[in-house]
Amino acid sequence: MDNTVIELVNLTKKYGSFTAVDGLNLKISKGEIFGLLGPNGAGKSTTILTILGLTEPTSGSVQVCGINSTSYPVEVKRKIGYLPEDVGFYDNRTGLENLMFTAHLNGIPDIEATVLAEQLLEKVGLSDSLKKKTGNYSRGMRQRLGLADVLIKNPEIIVLDEPTSGIDPNGVREFLDLIVGLSREKGLTVLFSSHNLHQVQQVCDRVGIFINGKLLGVGNIQSLSQQLFNNQLFVVEVSVSQPPKINVAKVSVAQLQKILLPIHGIRKISIENDVFRIESDTDISAEIAKILINSGLILSYLHKKEYGLDDIYYQYFEGGK
Ligand code: ADP
Ligand code: MG
């Protein structure tokens, strides 16, 4: 069964001659927490606005639950709860009043809306502040109220555009936990845009790395590593020394090469600060450990290097690729 809820096909958005979003192809499945990770100006917000039907693509198409966002924006907006970067509330009204107002706009009867609003305020941790005017809310409180505001219309999908910017670190953690909890509990699909890789790494099932309007890679962290680091994926670092009875303490690269000869797939062995770096096509860390121990050398350290989003971030965002 195809459980795609958001589908972008060759989506392109130009502003004059400038291409903000460049031929995106992407499918997001039901219940998934998908992270759109990219630096400022990458085109994240433009993509989101197109998904919501708030701006028209120059070419290509967007479908949400099988509905074309450009042709049927009103229907699509019913499916999606959207939390923009800066949520607007009526600052002279309380959190509860603001939620009631949204409920009213969405045709929810007042009695039902009151119960729902109070439940949601409790869920987002604002029960104590429901009668406070939102003008006095902190940035973190506003974002949490924004989440309640998005949820009150019971959407199938929530789209959060840089929801954590300006929130203090503790607040960020709580906010992210809340999103994961909601998605798991209600089967909500979440599209989360952020320039912060650690946050994306913390909560997202899959990530799209988005730079200059293009998706460089899409997948879970592990498969992204494979896509982006396929030339140097498996690296094992080891420290070995000779047994005490041998006078020469240090093991040479040539000696290690000879010992590891029976293992297939080794591409390169190098040494830096007495730590050997063994590059290979497949994960051979267990074989390396076994053969080294059997050789009589003393193995004091073995570490399989995993490439995470940090490395990807470094290579693509800061390495200026
Ligand atoms: P992000 O959300 O990833 O920071 P945006 O989608 O906001 O990126 O912007 C992508 C690029 O498109 C930026 O270079 C931005 O200046 C440009 N852009 C966004 N909106 C407009 C607009 N309405 N008119 C012209 N250029 C725009
Ligand atoms: Mg943006």
To test the pocket of ligand 1, the residue of 18, 46, 211 to mutate (highest count of ligand atoms within 8 Å of its CB) is: 46
What does DSSP assign to residue 159?
Answer: E
Is residue 294 packed enough to be buried (19+ CB in 10 Å), middle (13-18) or exposed (0-12)? exposed
317 within a domain of the structure (yes/no)? no
What does DSSP assign to residue 115?
Answer: H
Q: Are residues 58 and 203 in the same domain?
A: yes
The helix (H) or strand (E) run that includes residue 166 is none
Whether 296 is in the pocket of ligand 1, judged by its Cβ within 6 Å, is no
246 within a domain of the structure (yes/no)? yes
225 within a domain of the structure (yes/no)? no
* Atom 25 (ligand 1) nearest CA: 15
For residues 201 and 37, give the distance between their C-alpha atoms in angstroms, rounded to a whole number. 10
Rounded to the nearest 10 degrees, what angle do helices 139-151 and 169-186 cross at?
Answer: 10
The C-alpha angle with vertex 92 and arms to 91 and 94, in degrees rounded to 5, equals 85
Per-residue pLDDT of the chain (321 residues; tens, 9 = 90+): 579 999 999 999 999 999 999 999 999 999 999 999 998 899 999 999 999 999 999 999 999 999 999 999 999 999 999 999 888 899 999 999 999 999 999 999 999 999 999 999 999 999 999 899 999 999 889 999 999 999 999 999 999 999 998 888 888 888 899 899 989 988 999 999 998 888 888 899 999 989 899 998 898 877 776 677 665 568 899 999 988 776 677 889 999 999 999 999 898 999 999 899 998 878 899 999 999 999 999 999 999 887 666 676 666 665 544
311 within a domain of the structure (yes/no)? no
What distance, in Å, lies between the first and last C-alpha atoms of the chain?
38
Q: Are residues 125 and 250 in the same domain?
A: no
Q: Are residues 55 and 204 in the same domain?
A: yes
| Closest-lying ligand 1 atom to the alpha carbon of residue 48 | 6
Q: Average pLDDT of the chain?
A: 90
Whether 95 is in the pocket of ligand 1, judged by its Cβ within 6 Å, is no
Which range of residues forms the domain containing residue 256?
230-304
Residue 320: what pLDDT?
46
Q: Are residues 74 and 171 in the same domain?
A: yes
Q: What is the CATH number of the domain that holds 208?
A: 3.40.50.300
312 within a domain of the structure (yes/no)? no
Q: Are residues 261 and 129 in the same domain?
A: no
204 within a domain of the structure (yes/no)? yes
319 within a domain of the structure (yes/no)? no
Q: What is the CATH number of the domain that holds 295?
A: 3.30.70.100
Nearest to 229 by CA among 302, 309, 147, 156: 309
* Total count of domains within the chain: 2
Q: Are residues 92 and 165 in the same domain?
A: yes
81 within a domain of the structure (yes/no)? yes
Nearest to 214 by CA among 1, 6, 17, 22: 22
Tokens representing 15 are 């502003």
Residue 250: what pLDDT?
85
